[in-house]
Amino acid sequence: MDVRYLRQIEAHYESTWGSPQGLLRWTKGPIERLPDGFAVLVYQATDDMRAFATRGMSQPSDDDRLELHAFCRPADEARVQVEELLTVITDYHRTGSSLGLGHTVNFGRPWAPGSQCTHGLISLPYLDGPTLEWCRPLELRCLWLIPITRAELEYKKEHGLEALEQRFEEVQFNYLDVQRASVV
């Protein structure tokens, strides 16, 4: 485990969201395949929103270093289980297909019980901007995992990432609403 590398990732997040409120490690599934030191850090991004960010999804030896974050209301945390989803996505990234900007992942279940959002879109960190996107000097990219519906996934496949993101902007979708309707 490269402690300095992990600490630089933490410092990068802290420059945007302040000190972490917690460090989560999912204990089920094939966690032994995850990199040493992998965890999900929890930050109070705003008064009504927490950021959950991977630390150690990427490794210093990776060609394309990637970390992901997702947002959730504190009231929805137990229902969403963001740390589980980020851990499973990290495993997929490390042992399946390498992920990056514009890719989608299948959650295998709804984002929260009753939610139409069953997939995740890996997007630019529009809420926090380019200072969060790039962690220098690590050349590490920090991207936003946005829960999306099956219909939104199909729309992206047919019309492209920019068209879907433009649709999000047009309707000013509420990315924190776990019960939100599809924008398409």
pLDDT, one tens digit per residue, over 155-175 is 999 999 999 999 999 999 999
- Band (pLDDT 50/70/90 cuts) for residue 20 is very high
Cis peptide before 130 (omega within 30 of 0): no
Alpha helices, H only, the chain: 3-17, 77-80, 82-95, 130-133, 150-159, 161-171
Nearest by Cα to 37 from 22, 15, 14, 54: 54
pLDDT tens sequence across 90-146 = 999 999 889 999 999 999 999 999 999 999 999 999 999 999 999 998 999 999 999
Our CA angle for 30, 78, 34, nearest 5°, is 20
pTM, two decimal places: 0.95
Neighbours of 149 (CB within 10 A): 20
